Amino acid sequence: MTSADLNGDGYSDVIASIRGQLDTLMVAAYIYNGSAVVLQRIFF
């Protein structure tokens, strides 16, 4: 049994893809913030 079987409407797939995109954005923001801190330490 998967959550898709329980829901039967495919929403679980949409939620899973959205969560995947959010995880990617979080990682990108983390890398961006980390590189910004490094650049600040280099230039300032």
Read off the pLDDT of each residue in 7-35 and give the average, rounded to a whole number: 87
CA distance 27 to 19: 12
pLDDT of 35 > 70? The answer is: yes
What pTM does this model have? 0.52
- Name the residue among 37, 11, 9 with its Cα closest to residue 29: 37
6 band by pLDDT with thresholds 50, 70 and 90: low
Q: What is the separation, in whole angstroms, between the first and last Cα of the chain?
A: 55
CA distance 23 to 35: 18
